[in-house]
């Protein structure tokens, strides 16, 4: 134990006290006896903190792990903050959970603690998608909510997404207020574990019908679906919550030819058929693609465990099924919504769309063409939800998304919603098929009109305390010794969102970035290339995003131009990743 730093030692000593159960203490003693210093350090070197997705970590014993004590401490801290912030309110919260191991138990624990704090709890009686929690908060007039999920992380993870009364995840000052209250808890004896069933109300299947109908009301081309009701759709829930409502949602919209990937329909926290339950990954989509090929599907869909992200595949211009990336799906949804509403003379000058700073600029170009404002936010859908709340009485939100496969059409919730997105992706596929076009045909037409935007994301995993230190060192180096060229192209601007400063290299001037502070760097080249670097808020990773642009005068030129852009991206990525190494 002497080899561990003092802070880690102090946390371990606290967890060895009789405040914690015997099973927990025995596990720690075993690690100490076996001199598992790396495991002890990773488990105790810090307390779990809220990131872009809330509280998230590996399940297990320790202050830096997801367990009944860290979940309990977070819930007690949230309860204390609610009472502190809303002293005269009869407090209400909603609690939901996904298919991950221990999610249900954690949800029951969270409900117990809220109820013991005299807070009324609307508790889902079975696993349901994250966006349904956002909807429930608004529907029942709750002041807060909690979703037990680790989204698309590997199976050893779980997490705790905390929401505010607008149905969006916590943003400043509430996130910092909760953290302050959580950190103020010095002993687990301060956590009220004794359940009060009188304060708990069950949310059952009847609520599904309300949510599904509200989504159906958002449909903008129901007459086209009637014509294309036989559209062949393959859907995989990847062992998550999507199976509970997405098949019914697609049916309610009028789609009659939906084929489930049965091997992945059963909810399971072990995710037995995939390495990583993330629809961004080709491997996670492989069974769905196989089924799509068998039935000659028009569209292939798959959602992550808590159903806030969706991946889609369709036939490309060469006749092969190809996974659309997150930027492409976001762009197609924006174009579909704006073009149809424009055709129907429904667009207004106050309408707007939203994307994040690392999402394709093509969405903004399309919006500009239709006279609709496009707002940029920091990475994390909670910032899109925050903007929607700020503008809801003055302007109309139409659509938004982020490159990490999160989208929302209409303002029913304040979070990314894969149920909503699946329905709209299916609807736009039917709409364009009715015009004799595939999604890729539409994408190529957009590239011909606006330019070929090509993006790539590289994530580097750095686990544990050592990894966190390495990620910090990478960001420090890029700030203190910034590259002047990337991929052979001179940089013209460096944006440091942590200091809210843009550095203009040609004339050595600066300007202010009007967004909240965030640990993000962006490098802008003279060619208009945008390279972004940020540590993940939900995983032990540092992420490098690259966006470049080319042009085509004929869609037949796409493959050649795409190949050239691939090379340029690889050169840029090689330069910036070598810079950090």
Active site residues: 151
Kindly tell me the burial class for residue 248, based on how many C-beta atoms sit within 10 Å of its own C-beta (0-12, 13-18, 19 or more): middle
Q: What 3 state SS string does 244-296 have?
A: HCHHHHHHHHCCCCEEECHHHCCCCCCCCCCCCCCCCCCCCCHHHHHHHHHHC
Q: Which residues of 431-468 are buried (b: 16+ CB within 10 A; e: fewer)?
A: bbbeeeebbbbbbbebbbebbbbbbbbbebebebbebb
Tell me if residue 124 falls in helix, strand or coil: strand
Between CA 300 and CA 267 the distance in angstroms is 19
Element (H, E) at 412: none
Encoding tokens for residue 67? 């367990």
Tell me if residue 579 falls in helix, strand or coil: helix
Q: Which residue has the tokens 């997490």?
A: 159
Between CA 322 and CA 282 the distance in angstroms is 9
Between CA 48 and CA 536 the distance in angstroms is 14
Angle of helix 246-253 relative to helix 206-216, nearest 10 degrees?
Answer: 40
Residue 114 contacts residue 123 (beta carbons within 8 Å): no
Between CA 576 and CA 581 the distance in angstroms is 9
DSSP structural state of residue 220:
S
Between CA 58 and CA 101 the distance in angstroms is 11
How crowded is the C-beta side of 276, counted as CA atoms within 13 Å?
A: 8
Encoding tokens for residue 105? 């138990």
Residue 544 contacts residue 521 (beta carbons within 8 Å): no
DSSP structural state of residue 218:
T
Tell me if residue 323 falls in helix, strand or coil: strand
Q: What 3 state SS string does 471-513 have?
A: HHHHHHHHHHCCCCEECCEEEEEEEECCCCEEEECCCCEEEEC
DSSP structural state of residue 169:
B
Tell me if residue 100 falls in helix, strand or coil: coil
Tell me if residue 346 falls in helix, strand or coil: coil
Residue 309 contacts residue 243 (beta carbons within 8 Å): no
Encoding tokens for residue 196? 């009060």
């Amino acid at each position: 134990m002497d080899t561990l730093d003092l802070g880690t030692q102090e946390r371990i000593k606290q967890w060895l006290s009789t405040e914690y159960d015997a099973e927990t203490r025995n596990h720690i003693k075993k690690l100490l006896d076996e001199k598992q210093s790396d495991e002890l350090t990773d488990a105790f070197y810090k307390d779990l903190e809220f990131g872009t997705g809330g509280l998230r970590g590996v399940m297990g014993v320790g202050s830096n792990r997801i367990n009944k004590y860290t979940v309990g401490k977070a819930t007690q801290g949230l309860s204390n903050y609610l009472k502190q912030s809303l002293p005269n309110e009869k407090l209400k919260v909603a609690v939901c959970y996904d298919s991950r191991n221990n999610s249900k138990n954690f949800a029951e624990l969270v409900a117990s603690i809220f109820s013991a704090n005299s807070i009324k709890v609307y508790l889902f009686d079975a696993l349901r998608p994250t966006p349904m929690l956002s909807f429930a908060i608004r529907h029942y007039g709750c002041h807060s909510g909690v979703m037990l999920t680790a989204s698309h992380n590997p199976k050893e993870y779980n997490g705790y997404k905390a929401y505010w009364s607008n149905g969006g995840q916590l943003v400043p000052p509430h996130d910092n207020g909760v953290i302050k209250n959580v950190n103020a808890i010095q002993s687990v004896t301060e956590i009220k574990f004794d359940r009060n069933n009188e304060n708990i109300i069950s949310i059952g299947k009847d609520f599904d019908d309300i949510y599904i109908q509200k989504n159906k009301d958002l449909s903008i081309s129901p007459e086209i679906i009637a014509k294309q009701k036989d559209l062949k759709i393959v859907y995989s829930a990847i062992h998550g919550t999507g199976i509970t409502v997405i098949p019914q949602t697609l049916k309610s919209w009028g789609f009659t030819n939906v084929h489930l990937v049965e091997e992945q329909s059963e909810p399971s926290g072990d995710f037995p058929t995939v390495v990583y339950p993330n629809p961004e990954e080709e491997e996670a989509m492989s069974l769905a693609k196989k089924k799509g090929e068998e039935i000659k599907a028009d569209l292939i869909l798959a959602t992550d465990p808590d159903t806030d992200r969706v991946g889609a595949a369709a036939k490309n211009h060469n006749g092969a099924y190809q996974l659309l990336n997150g930027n492409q799906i976001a762009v197609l949804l924006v174009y579909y919504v704006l073009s149809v509403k424009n055709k129907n003379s429904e667009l207004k000058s106050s309408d707007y769309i939203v994307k994040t700073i690392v999402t394709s600029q093509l969405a903004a170009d399309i919006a500009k063409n239709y006279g609709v404002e496009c707002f940029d936010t920091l990475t994390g859908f909670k910032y899109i939800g925050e903007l929607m709340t700020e503008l809801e009485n003055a302007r109309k939100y139409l659509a938004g998304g982020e490159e990490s496969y999160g989208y929302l059409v209409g303002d029913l919730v304040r979070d990314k919603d894969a149920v909503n997105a699946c329905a709209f992706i299916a609807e736009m596929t039917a709409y364009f098929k009715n015009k004799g076009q595939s999604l890729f045909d539409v994408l190529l037409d957009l590239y011909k009109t606006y330019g070929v935007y090509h993006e790539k994301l590289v994530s580097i995993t750095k686990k544990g305390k050592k990894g966190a230190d390495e990620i910090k060192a990478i960001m420090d180096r890029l700030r203190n010794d910034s590259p002047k060229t990337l991929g052979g192209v001179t940089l013209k601007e460096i944006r440091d969102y942590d200091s809210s400063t843009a550095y203009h290299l040609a004339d050595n001037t600066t300007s202010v970035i009007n967004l909240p502070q965030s640990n993000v760097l962006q490098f802008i080249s003279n060619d208009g290339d945008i390279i972004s670097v940020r540590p993940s808020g939900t995983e032990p990773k540092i992420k490098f995003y690259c966006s470049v642009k080319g042009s085509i005068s004929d869609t037949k030129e796409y493959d050649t131009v795409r190949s050239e852009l691939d090379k340029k991206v690889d050169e840029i990525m090689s330069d910036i990743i070598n810079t950090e190494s």
